[in-house]
Chains A and B, each alone.
Chain A
Amino acid sequence: MNLTRSDDDRALIARVEGREAEALATLYDRHSARLMGLCQRILGDTGEAEEVLQEVFLWVWRSASKFDASRGSVLAWLLVGTRSRAIDRVRTRRPGARAGLRSVETVPDTASGEDIEADSASRQWESQCRSAIAELPEDQRRALELAYFDGLTHQEISERTGTPLGTVKTRVRLGLMKLRDRIQPYTQRRPTDA
């Protein structure tokens, strides 16, 4: 998600909007492993993860014109679309079938798919994100993980952790603010920031 990569991504989205399948293929090569990893983390099922990934790229093909750079990077847009579809599937499952949430500590620092994501800037961004998340206070990180990977509402997080609702909201807000402050140097400045 460095500057160069983000510029490239926006250019690819513009080409996809112009119905260039090759641009979609490049986007796929660039981000599918990360999106697939996210799907697997949320769903815990390879088959369902592939289905969601397929839905996402068809959605990108149909809806590239809806991408708004002022609302975040292309990768963030893809991640939001992927996550929302995966979470929707989790919510339709019966509770017992839900994949367990792994905490940050259990996720290996060295991804097994490093050879897949060979781009050094991307790995630098990923490394920065991991250390920024690891530096978060435990309660803030836990609240963010429950919201992001389990798709829990703030009310559900409150019940799950036995924490007052207001405290949950505060933890989510402070957690995201800290992440923003630590990651921003590595993220693309949007046109509105310029």
Chain B
Amino acid sequence: MHSDRFEELAALRALGIPLGADEDEFAQHLEGCATCQALVADFTDSAAALSATATPVAPPASLKTRILGSLESGAVSPRASGGGDLSSRVKTAEAGATPQRSFAPWVFAAAAGLLLLLLVTDDARLRREREDLRSQTAAFRAQAGEGEDLRKQAAALQQEKANLSEKLRAAQRSLARRDLQARVVESDDVQLLFLQGKAPQQRARGRVFWSTRAGRGVVVAGNLSVLPAGKQYELWAFSGGKPVPAGVFDADTAGRVLFESKDLSRIGTPEKFAVTVEPRGGVEAPTGPIVLAGS
């Protein structure tokens, strides 16, 4: 019984599969082993059986004529369709074939030489065209890649521009507010009014910086309660004994407030200020309890 290993190698050899590192060893073994020689032959026949699953196909009658013709003329005719590699086109039948025609050998040699020259020239041209196409394809791909990069960069820049615009608008709003507050607080006509907490927020304290020239006041307050949803603090400026709505605000989580009133230049100098708790968004006349008041 031969070893499984040699049987495997014989099977691979019969199928034309490269044996890799075992190639040399098996070739050497095969030379002196009749059993393995017979095994390779058996397996070759067995492998040939696989071809039986391929449906026989009748080749065109012209192919036989072409093959037999090439034996007679000594050269293989290229296929009418122009396919095939260069070597197969110029392969010649063995020189010992009996010439059937009366042309002198130099005529065949010249024709073969001319054909070879044409094929070599044609082959070189095709190679050049192939290289050109490769170069063009590479250039198109590079351009397409650059275009994609540019599109991505443009999108990123657009997004960055939008972010910067938003930051700029926020900064402008903040600057305008600070400017106004500065004008109010630092105005030479500023008046300071103290606000006292009222039950149930007795601990609340506040101040109103009022500038008649600016027509606005700035409220700074502390110890205010955080109101439930739907409620908001509303500032009232009293003029002629009547409350005028001056804006709504919320306290932060620490109960602090920095708030700038509406433009109240139309009412002149208020007599006093009060803060009430009102529905969110404010009302035209106070309805809720007063939490801060001062004059």
Contacts and interface: CB of A to CB of B under 8 A. Distances in A.
Interface in A54-96: 54-55, 57-58, 61-62, 70-73, 75-76, 79-80, 83-84, 87
Interface in B141-163: none
B84 A180 contact: no
Contact of A113 (B17, B37, B53, B58): B58
Given A47-B79, A133-B52, A148-B50, A184 B67 contact: no
B37 A70 contact: yes
Contact of B64 (A25, A34, A51, A190): A25
A153 B13 CA distance: 11
B40 A133 contact: no
Nearest to A48: B83
Given A84-B16, A108-B55, A71 B41 contact: yes
Interface range for B: 35 or more
Contacts of A38: 51, 54
Given A50-B59, A55-B88, A129-B49, A70 B12 contact: no
A111 interface: yes
A139 interface: no
Interface in B1-29: 4, 7-8, 10-12, 14-18
B229 interface: no
18 contacts: A19-B98, A24-B71, A34-B56, A37-B56, A50-B59, A51-B83, A58-B76, A58-B93, A61-B71, A62-B93, A79-B51, A80-B44, A107-B53, A129-B50, A170-B8, A172-B11, A172-B15, A172-B17
Contacts of B67: 24, 28, 54, 57-58
Interface of A: 1, 19, 21, 24-25, 28-29, 32-34, 36-38, 40-41, 47-51, 53-55, 57-58, 61-62, 70-73, 75-76, 79-80, 83-84, 87, 104, 107-108, 111-114, 116-117, 125-126, 129-130, 132-133, 144-145, 147-149, 151, 153-154, 169-170, 172-173, 175-177, 179-180, 183-184, 187, 190, 192-193
